Amino acid sequence: MTPFKTLNRRNSNSAKWESVKDKMPANDYLVFSVADSDYETAPEIKAALKARVEHGAFGYTMLDDDYYQIVQSWYQRRYQLNIKKNWIITAPKVLTALSIIIDGLSSKKAAIVIQTPVYNVFFPAIKQNGRKVVENKLTQKNGHYTMDTEDLEKHFKAGAEMLLLCSPHNPVGRIYTTDELARIVALCKQYGVTLVSDEIHADLVMPNHQFVSLGKFFNDYDNIILVSAPSKTFNLAGLQSANIVVPNNENRKKLKAYMRKRFLYAPNVLAIEAIKTAYTLCDDWVDAQNMHIYQNYQILQSFLNQYNPAITLTSLEGTYLAWIDFSCYQMKSDALNDHFMKFNVALASGINYGLHCDGYLRMNLACSKAQLEDGLRSLKKALDAL
């Protein structure tokens, strides 16, 4: 029996499920918006957390050598990347890490480049730190997205100080190739731009694809920073823990000083236990999850092809997020999603990922097959009503 079974997350303080319940006409509503998964995490993690809770003490906690060795081993095993222990800095979560990097390593009012459509919280992470958002729009052809390096170089020439890369890319599902990343690294090096790679989806890789970490280019350019976490892979966002990998000594000193001033120290005690277990015992679970997500993607693809071939589904290489172009219905994203919610199903509105993305919606596939099929039945009713 598949371990990725339907899990009822209603009334569990889930941000994903609670945030839309008032917009739904019935209690059996379904949500495919926020990027966390709707099945249980790996059983080894549950067992480790139960054992730690049984100990009974949850006082001040510090990181031991095992933690760093386990993270190093995961990077080597999963990404073929050798990182040094002293390069690793822990943070409460990836967004906190990105905010720290933006505020700690760029000048006030600096231009920060993002590649839209992109994870919607990149925008406030930049703006709320008093920096300027600069969009380097991805180029799309037949549902496949690529980087526009000519436009990117124009922004670098104009003085942009930092590039936030989303790799694998949320929401378009790209895993960038070594050649694509090499071109970006070369441009950043040429113009002295800090390259920050949000690799939170690095473990979510579809068949016939291989994730390439920006860490592969540390020897060419050390002004690269990696940010990752087990939160997407193992649905541990509520435990709040992330890792920053910083090979550049000066960058690392600045970030550590920044965090000391704000008393940002080790992750909480349960997060440490979960990470150690996830990165030690759960490789097979991750591989099985990836296959499950890909099978869900195939179900969605088949449904859309049969229902209306004019609806374009972006090919999925990484993440568990499907990026769907519904522009054939000539409706704005918010209006379309509001219409779907009248039929008890919610997706994520595409305009949140870039102003040029109206008509798109993002659908989370990290759910059981049964939940997905129920959701598609509701979507069919909603589309039929149009």
Please count the other Cβ atoms lying within 10 Å of the Cβ belonging to residue 281: 15
Are 176 and 108 members of one domain? yes
3-state secondary structure (DSSP) of residue 55: helix
Q: What is the pLDDT of residue 3?
A: 87
Residue range 32-52: average pLDDT? 98
Are 205 and 190 members of one domain? yes
- Distance in Å from the first CA to the final CA of the chain: 38
Residue 8 forms part of a structural domain: no
Are 206 and 302 members of one domain? no
Q: What is the pLDDT of residue 164?
A: 98
Are 259 and 300 members of one domain? no
Q: What is the pLDDT of residue 143?
A: 86
* CA dist., res. 162 & res. 164, Å (int): 7
Are 122 and 171 members of one domain? yes
Q: What is the pLDDT of residue 279?
A: 98
Question: pLDDT > 90: what percent of the chain?
Answer: 98
Element (H, E) at 345: strand 345-346
Residue 184 forms part of a structural domain: yes
Residue 311 forms part of a structural domain: yes
Q: What is the pLDDT of residue 1?
A: 45
Residue 5 forms part of a structural domain: no
In whole angstroms, how far apart are CA 132 and each of 103, 113, 258?
A: 12, 8, 21
Structure token pair of residue 159: 């003085």
pLDDT above 60: residue 72: yes
Are 304 and 361 members of one domain? yes
Domain boundary among 251, 281, 311: 281
Distant-in-sequence, close-in-space partners of 245: CB < 8 Å, separation ≥ 6: 75, 83, 87, 88, 89, 215, 225, 226, 227, 228
Are 207 and 89 members of one domain? yes
Domain boundary among 261, 281, 301: 281
3-state secondary structure (DSSP) of residue 175: coil
Residue range 288-312: average pLDDT? 98
Are 253 and 304 members of one domain? no
Digit-coded pLDDT (tens) for 110-135: 999 999 999 999 999 999 999 999 99
Residue range 52-75: average pLDDT? 96
In terms of phi and psi (left: phi > 0; alpha: psi -120 to 50; beta: otherwise), the region of 329 is: alpha
Residue 219 forms part of a structural domain: yes
Residue 47 forms part of a structural domain: no
Residue range 352-370: average pLDDT? 97
pLDDT above 80: residue 31: yes
Are 255 and 321 members of one domain? no
67-74: long-range contacts, CB 8 A cutoff, minimum separation 24: 67/272, 67/275, 67/276, 70/275, 70/276, 70/279, 70/280, 71/243, 71/275, 71/279, 73/279, 73/280, 74/279
Paired residues of 224 in beta bridges: 195
Structure token pair of residue 192: 């002295």
pLDDT above 90: residue 266: no
Residue range 164-177: average pLDDT? 98
pLDDT interval class at 199 (50, 70, 90): very high
Domain boundary among 246, 281, 316: 281
Cis before 25 (ω within 30): no
Are 27 and 146 members of one domain? no
Q: What is the largest CA-CA distance in the chain?
A: 59
We report the CATH number of the domain holding residue 232 as: 3.40.640.10
Residue range 139-145: average pLDDT? 91
Residue 9 forms part of a structural domain: no
We report the CATH number of the domain holding residue 352 as: 3.90.1150.10
Digit-coded pLDDT (tens) for 10-28: 999 999 999 999 999 999 9
Domain with 229, as residue range(s), is: 57-281
* CA dist., res. 201 & res. 76, Å (int): 16
Domain count, the chain: 2
R_g of the chain computed on alpha carbons: 21
Q: What is the mean pLDDT of the chain?
A: 97
* CA dist., res. 339 & res. 25, Å (int): 12
Are 228 and 288 members of one domain? no
Residue among 365, 346, 374 nearest 18 (CA): 346
pLDDT interval class at 319 (50, 70, 90): very high
Residue 120 forms part of a structural domain: yes
* CA dist., res. 386 & res. 383, Å (int): 5
Are 104 and 230 members of one domain? yes
Question: Mind giving me the DSSP string for 260-288?
Answer: HHTT--SPPHHHHHHHHHHHHH-HHHHHH
